[in-house]
Chain A
Amino acid sequence: MSDFWILLTGSLVAACCGIVGVFLVLRKMAMIGDAISHSVMPGIVIAFLMSGSRDSLLMMFAALVFGVFTTFLIGMFERGGIQSDASIGVVFTALFAIGVILVSLFARQVHLDQDAILYGEIAFVHWNLWEIGGVSMGPKAVWLLGFTLFVIVAVIGLLYKQFKLCSFDPALAAAIGIPVAFFHYLLMGLVSMATVSSFESVGAILVVGMLIVPASTAYLLTDRLGMMIVLSVAVGIASTFLGYGASVWLDASIAGCMVCAAGVLFIIAFLFSPKHGLVSRKLRQRSLAAAANG
């Protein structure tokens, strides 16, 4: 039974991160995903200190606030004339430092250490159950991730056209009256939600892997946005299963193995993608050269 719950949790993480990751990669904001996954930490800690429990909607809300706040700060410094990568670096390290200090000053005795936030522990998912009137409803993490996935699918499904236009041609989107800045912050809100609901199971840094690596793999495989989202989720789920298999076999960290599996799938796509792969492009060049010579 625990296998089932771990795989389900992993797949839900992959689905949430895979969908929003596509937009991050397309808008060249992959490192903002990295920044948000670190800078929600003070939000998580503050919510934890206020509510005293690790699984509350308050935590989700606080993380959301900090995620959007991070993007706001990054945008502000960028407009002030700092290069975008440097402003990302300044903002997320400062917020993460605040988070670590809060943990080490106030939350040391309770079970919220940096290791839990950074690495996560998906193997414990099925011990933390949600009960209503004594009836077990399954792990809490699954419900949280399911809710997040529902929100992400609903928002992106309803506003698909707008998100698409904002990713590919923000200037045109602004010209025809789509509030580009609003969609930017909406997307960042979704990224923060995906991050905070996943951090417990895969850990803050490996969320980055789930956000960026499957989406980049999908980007190498297709030129269509809808297909890219489907592929990104599929690659994410495939790496969950492969990673879990590998971790059982090797007796190693589950989340780490999942990200490594995603990395292996990325390398395969990088080499053998039919259109953009390294090997297939070489072969095409060779056959073209042969055709030109012959």
Chain B
Amino acid sequence: MLNFMAMLADPNMQWIFFGCLLLGLSSGVIGSFSYLRKQSLVGDTLAHAALPGICIAFMLTGVKSIGIFLIGAGIAGVIATFGIGYITRHSRLKQDAALGIVLSVFFGLGIVLLTFIQHGDYGNQSGLDKFLFGQAAAMVGSDVVTMSVICLSLVTICTLFFKQFKLISFDPGFAKGIGYPVALLEQLLMLLIVVAVVVGIQAVGVVLIAALLITPAVSARYWTNRLGVMVALSGLFGALSGALGTWVSSSVTNLPTGPVTVLAATLFFFVSVLFGPQRGLIAKRLVRLRVKKSFLLEKELRAEPMKGETAL
């Protein structure tokens, strides 16, 4: 606990702490929509697909700044989304194969570009690869400010469009029927995922940012059947994981932030799997016991008069 106060006393750590907290919050909120739309792994694919975009942005500008990376990764993410849709619509490959193809080819391209950067004379390139594995403590103040602002606006957009996102998550056909621009809303949601992924990469890393989109949403689903509650809970789980991850990784040397954050989210997941009120393992076991008991009782009650009848 002392450790925790010491961390909060350091002004730079304060910023990083709140940045990761906000990151967890926003990706948890967006993740619940993508979970309900059965697109959980899209986040994983977009995170990998962001790599060539980031590399090209760096090669063109030579600056390591989150804003420029965001533009590059955003463009790459939009191309990747388009690619996934195009492959599934125009060939007999299913979505899983399309995701896998886009993920690996984009990432391969990204690695090729990364070696270009390492071999070329881009003076300021050191740490671009570290950037990809996530080290929140390496972020500088302006990065954290950008990250916090973007995360807050993501949450705001989700709040504003809550009704629309709810409808396209559960019944896109009906949404189209009453005149919502469904395709546009779907693209907007995809764009939000891209932004959340890109913002998170620096803190959590390419491979693990997907977990922040998926795990809190799945955990929240265990506790409720109402979307509003689920989104709020998912955001809460995400924020707590981000906070825990930053705290633990800053207090142990050599511990990267991303994996610790993900393990914190997984911890919440296990708690939810066990203790969720209706779907949790313990609740299910209790229901089974209760049903068994009432069945046995009923059998006994029915058996009583029958015994009496035979006696007569």
Residues on A lying within 8 angstroms of B by beta carbon are 25, 28-31, 33-34, 38, 77, 80-83, 85-90, 93-94, 96-98, 100-101, 104-105, 108, 114-115, 118-119, 205-206, 208-209, 211-213, 216, 219-220, 247, 250-253, 255-260, 262-263, 266, 270, 276, 278
> Which residues of B lie under 8 Å from residue A28 when comparing CB positions?
94, 96-97
Given contacts A31-B100, A212-B100, whether A98 and B259 have CB atoms under 8 Å apart is yes
> Which residues of B lie under 8 Å from residue A90 when comparing CB positions?
211, 214-215, 218, 266, 269
Query: Closest CB-CB distance, A215 to chain B, in whole Å?
Result: 8
> Is B133 close to A, CB under 8 A?
yes
> Which residues of A lie under 8 Å from residue B213 when comparing CB positions?
89
15 contacts between A and B (CB under 8 A): A30-B99, A31-B96, A86-B217, A97-B263, A101-B255, A115-B129, A209-B105, A211-B100, A219-B92, A220-B92, A256-B108, A256-B115, A259-B107, A260-B109, A270-B91
> Which residues of B lie under 8 Å from residue A31 when comparing CB positions?
41, 96, 99-100
Instruction: Provide the bound-state CA to CA distance between A259 and B39, in Å.
Output: 25
Smallest CB-CB A-B distances: 9 pairs: A259-B108, A209-B104, A93-B211, A263-B105, A256-B111, A97-B259, A89-B214, A212-B100, A256-B112
> Which residues of A lie under 8 Å from residue B70 when comparing CB positions?
none
> Which residues of B lie under 8 Å from residue A82 when comparing CB positions?
218, 221
Extra contacts, 19 of them, besides A30-B99, A86-B214, A90-B266 (Cβ < 8 A), are A28-B97, A29-B96, A86-B217, A88-B41, A93-B215, A94-B262, A97-B259, A98-B263, A105-B254, A205-B104, A209-B108, A212-B104, A213-B100, A213-B104, A219-B97, A220-B92, A253-B115, A278-B90, A278-B91
> Which residues of B lie under 8 Å from residue A259 when comparing CB positions?
104-105, 107-109
Q: Which of B39, B44, B91, B129 contacts A220 (CB 8 A)?
A: B91
Is the beta-carbon distance between A101 and B97 smaller than 8 angstroms? no
> Is B38 close to A, CB under 8 A?
yes
Is the beta-carbon distance between A97 and B104 smaller than 8 angstroms? no
Instruction: Provide the bound-state CA to CA distance between A270 and B211, in Å.
Output: 31
Given contacts A90-B211, A205-B107, whether A213 and B112 have CB atoms under 8 Å apart is no
Q: Choose among B48, B91, B109 the residue with the greatest number of A CB atoms under 10 Å from its CB.
A: B91
Given contacts A90-B266, A208-B103, whether A216 and B108 have CB atoms under 8 Å apart is no
> Which residues of A lie under 8 Å from residue B235 when comparing CB positions?
none
> Which residues of B lie under 8 Å from residue A220 when comparing CB positions?
91-93
Is the beta-carbon distance between B259 and A100 smaller than 8 angstroms? yes
Q: Which of A89, A250, A255 contacts B44 (CB 8 A)?
A: A89
Is the beta-carbon distance between B255 and A105 smaller than 8 angstroms? yes
Instruction: Provide the bound-state CA to CA distance between A219 and B109, in Å.
Output: 23
> Is B116 close to A, CB under 8 A?
yes
Given contacts A219-B93, A256-B115, whether A100 and B258 have CB atoms under 8 Å apart is yes
Query: Closest CB-CB distance, A285 to chain B, in whole Å?
Result: 13
Instruction: Provide the bound-state CA to CA distance between A114 and B256, in Å.
Output: 11
Is the beta-carbon distance between B35 and A263 smaller than 8 angstroms? no
Chain B residue nearest in CB terms to A82 = B218
Is the beta-carbon distance between A251 and B100 smaller than 8 angstroms? no
Q: Choose among A219, A253, A257 the residue with the greatest number of B CB atoms under 10 Å from its CB.
A: A253
Given contacts A31-B99, A104-B255, A105-B255, whether A89 and B104 have CB atoms under 8 Å apart is no
Q: Choose among A31, A88, A90, A250 the residue with the greatest number of B CB atoms under 10 Å from its CB.
A: A90
Is the beta-carbon distance between A270 and B87 smaller than 8 angstroms? yes
> Is B64 close to A, CB under 8 A?
no
Instruction: Provide the bound-state CA to CA distance between A187 and B40, in Å.
Output: 24
Is the beta-carbon distance between B133 and A208 smaller than 8 angstroms? no
Q: Which of B100, B258, B281 contacts A30 (CB 8 A)?
A: B100
Within 8 A of A (CB), among B229-288: 252, 254-256, 258-260, 262-263, 266, 269, 273, 279, 281
Chain A residue nearest in CB terms to B119 = A251
> Which residues of A lie under 8 Å from residue B63 when comparing CB positions?
none
> Which residues of B lie under 8 Å from residue A80 when comparing CB positions?
273, 279, 281
> Is B208 close to A, CB under 8 A?
yes
Is the beta-carbon distance between A96 and B207 smaller than 8 angstroms? yes
> Which residues of A lie under 8 Å from residue B97 when comparing CB positions?
25, 28, 30, 212, 216, 219
Is the beta-carbon distance between A97 and B91 smaller than 8 angstroms? no
Given contacts A89-B44, A105-B255, A252-B116, whether A213 and B105 have CB atoms under 8 Å apart is yes
Q: Choose among B41, B44, B111, B210 the residue with the greatest number of A CB atoms under 10 Å from its CB.
A: B111
Chain B residue nearest in CB terms to A96 = B207
Given contacts A30-B99, A86-B217, A93-B214, whether A119 and B207 have CB atoms under 8 Å apart is no
Is the beta-carbon distance between A208 and B100 smaller than 8 angstroms? yes
